[in-house]
Amino acid sequence: MCGILGYAGSSDILSVLVSGLERLSYRGYDSSGIAIISDDELCHWKSEGKTHLLVERHLKNLRIENFSVGIAHTRWATHGAPNDLNAHPQLSMNRKTAIVHNGIVENFAEIKSKLQLSTTFHSETDTEVIVQLIEHFASKEEFSFREALCLALKQIEGNCSFTVITEHDPKVIYAVKKGQPLIIGLGKNENFIASDMNAILPYTKRYLNIQDGEIAMVRQDGYEIIDFDGKPVAKKSHVPSEISGTLEQANKGSYKHYMLKEIDEQPEVLARLLHAYAGDGKQLDFMPALNSKNLNLAKLERFIIYACGTSWHAGLVAKYWIEEYVHVPAEVDISSEYRYRKGVSRRQDGVLALSQSGETADTLAGVQLSKEQGAAKVISFINRENSAMEKHSDGVIRSLAGMEIGVASTKNYLAQLLSLYLFTLHMARLKKTMSAKELARRLDELAVLPSLVRKFLLNKAAIQKIAKKYSSYKGFFFIGRGLSFPTALEGALKLKEIAYLYAVGYPAGELKHGPIALVDEKMPVVTIMPESDTYNKMMNNLEEVKARKGKIIAIATEGDERALAAADDCIFVPRVRSYLSPLVTVLPLQLLAYYTADILGRDVDQPKNLAKSVTVE
């Protein structure tokens, strides 16, 4: 979603801001813009579309002299269409102050209608309301800019972090944190503001988190932090940290797309997780952090799992594992449903919040809600470091997937699955629902998983061919039973989000309760049917589809002659125990979506309308 960057320093400001915008672009966006104070005057440029359009239309031959500070933004439209007018920065009516913003002003209509008596608005955004309100106070002589900002903040409701520069105070970037993440990047004789460390990694790894309810005032030579009442916040409460990531992680190398690179990184991610959390299969030391926090996991009597999108699918798989091996009920909710359905979490409940980014607004709200409701413990499964969700959780299990740039989540999904499986085993040990011998056997068998996945990924050509064969079809069904049902949902989501094709996942047993009406020769059906207790049932479903002339793409265990004979096309996955099948059956579905999207010429890494971190509701 929206990305924010600010720069106070003397390096070439345009190239710092433009390259930062490019590094923020993975979040997904539809327009971008820049504002700079030069010779104490505010100037700005913005454009709908990708950053290269901003550069081509406005910045190509521009040289900026005598600058002090600048801000930049990638916008993911919420209020108002993605066009030049609604792109950020938004300016005050007198063009003295500019803002870039991430989040939503809940009461913007109310504020706007009051301001409209004296102010002309130019955009449909809620963002413009903030800057007009600040300027409404700042242009009165009795208020300094800082006071004006604090007065405006008293009226603004909603989760919205933003950054402002102004001719009233031309050497300062004002950064307001109210929900959405913002950090100060600390460089040598230069400082930054960013919504995401990635934007500033080439310049510095030292950063400071701005906390909710704080305003950071950042200059080239330092910074100051105040609260929303304008009172200074003691510096000792902000200790700079250093990020461990490197730029290399965000490099496509020789790959055409990040998504394909990330799919190929999966064996390495699995190996890293096994090494970190399962002593390479020899011991189950599940993150000392979890044990040391006195989480009392053995006392938990129920799990509530919530997440969005792909992370939700990982949660659905975990439900099967937890109920079967830990013998406690597990409920799985979509975060945006959980937070409003007035569910109940109690002292005996463990909450598992799943999120690649750790920033997803609905999942974060769920974490906060469960704590308020008195859930025993909230354990988050997060990939990114230093996220808001992490701060609100009692325990964190890191997915260790490395930076995931492609909007379509792939390697993090596999990492979530393996982490959740290991967590299940850990719980089974604590609850004594699995014998030590069985536990040891299960850990031992995981050791081959990375090499099985690696081997599978060496043979992509056959899947590419199948993708080509079916790329002209307009709709797809994905069906599976048991552990393969969430995989069906995940396969359908991947195809929808990057290939823009209609695809729906169903539990195979439900097909005849309605959806089969849609099956004909124009509707390919992907049947996820690894060896399992329900294999024969899946075979029956396959036959039902065939009887209606539906084309079958079967995902089956290697050597499955029946599936090979019955399906129009069959992709074999490595043979693993049925309870581990979600870790292999999803691989061909990721590739099927990838190749279909590529063949159709889609923007694979940044599909239209989507954002990597969904930081607004």
Cite the active site residues: 2, 612
Measured CA to CA, the distance from residue 454 to residue 460 in angstroms comes to: 11
Residue 615 interacting with ligand AGP (CB under 6 A) = no
Q: Which CB, 165 or 307, lies closer to ligand AGP?
A: 307
Enter the DSSP assignment of 326.
Answer: T
Residue 274 interacting with ligand AGP (CB under 6 A) = no
Q: Which CB, 19 or 355, lies closer to ligand AGP?
A: 355
Least Cβ distance, residue 171 to ligand AGP (angstroms): 36
Q: Which CB, 308 or 552, lies closer to ligand AGP?
A: 308
Q: Considering only CA atoms, which of 299, 279, 302, 276 is closest in space to residue 289? A: 276
Region binding ligand AGP by CB under 6 A among candidate stretches 207-215, 286-294, 308-316, 555-563: 308-316
Measured CA to CA, the distance from residue 209 to residue 194 in angstroms comes to: 10
Least Cβ distance, residue 286 to ligand AGP (angstroms): 21
Tokens 């050791």 found at: 447
Residue 570 interacting with ligand AGP (CB under 6 A) = no
Residue 452 interacting with ligand AGP (CB under 6 A) = no
Residue 70 interacting with ligand AGP (CB under 6 A) = no
Least Cβ distance, residue 590 to ligand AGP (angstroms): 10
Q: Which CB, 6 or 486, lies closer to ligand AGP?
A: 486
Contacts of 24 (CB under 8 A, 6+ apart): 3, 5, 74, 195, 196, 198, 199
Measured CA to CA, the distance from residue 415 to residue 275 in angstroms comes to: 13
Residue 541 interacting with ligand AGP (CB under 6 A) = no
Pairing type for strands 222-227 and 214-219 reads: antiparallel
In our burial notation (b when 16+ CB lie closer than 10 A, e otherwise), range 94-123 reads eebbbbbbbbbbeebeebbeebeeebeeeb
Residue 361 interacting with ligand AGP (CB under 6 A) = no
Enter the DSSP assignment of 294.
Answer: T
Residue 198 interacting with ligand AGP (CB under 6 A) = no
Measured CA to CA, the distance from residue 520 to residue 157 in angstroms comes to: 51
Long-range contacts of the stretch 436-444 (C-beta < 8 A, 24+): 439/284, 443/278, 443/281, 443/282, 443/283, 443/284, 444/281, 444/282
Among 363, 424, 484, 581, binds ligand AGP (CB under 6 A): 363
Region binding ligand AGP by CB under 6 A among candidate stretches 120-128, 153-161, 303-311, 373-381: 303-311
Spatial contact of 92 and 129, defined as CB atoms under 8 Å apart: no
Among 92, 159, 204, 355, binds ligand AGP (CB under 6 A): 355
Residue number of the CB atom closest to ligand AGP = 309
Among 481, 614, 615, 616, binds ligand AGP (CB under 6 A): 614
Least Cβ distance, residue 498 to ligand AGP (angstroms): 8
Residues 393 to 422 in contact with ligand AGP, rule: CB under 6 A: 407-409
Spatial contact of 71 and 165, defined as CB atoms under 8 Å apart: yes
Q: Which one-letter amino acid corresponds to residue 442?
A: R
Q: Considering only CA atoms, which of 50, 357, 53 is closest in space to residue 197? A: 357
Q: Which CB, 308 or 396, lies closer to ligand AGP?
A: 308
Q: Which CB, 91 or 269, lies closer to ligand AGP?
A: 269
Least Cβ distance, residue 392 to ligand AGP (angstroms): 14
Contact track, ligand AGP, 471-510, x by CB under 6 A: --------------------------x-------------
Contacts of 440 (CB under 8 A, 6+ apart): none
Q: Site size for ligand AGP, by CB under 6 A? A: 16
Q: Supply 164's token pair.
A: 């402002």
* CA distance to 107, 160, 327, 479, per residue, from 488 (Å): 40, 36, 25, 5
Measured CA to CA, the distance from residue 8 to residue 36 in angstroms comes to: 10
Residue 32 interacting with ligand AGP (CB under 6 A) = no
Least Cβ distance, residue 308 to ligand AGP (angstroms): 4
Could you give the strand order of the β-sheet that contains 222-227, starting from the edge strand earlier in sequence?
Answer: 90-91, 97-103, 160-166, 173-177, 214-219, 222-227
Residues 420 to 439 in contact with ligand AGP, rule: CB under 6 A: none
Least Cβ distance, residue 455 to ligand AGP (angstroms): 25
Q: Which CB, 102 or 363, lies closer to ligand AGP?
A: 363
Residue 311 interacting with ligand AGP (CB under 6 A) = yes
Binding site for ligand AGP (CB under 6 A): 308-311, 355-357, 360, 363, 407-409, 497, 610, 613-614
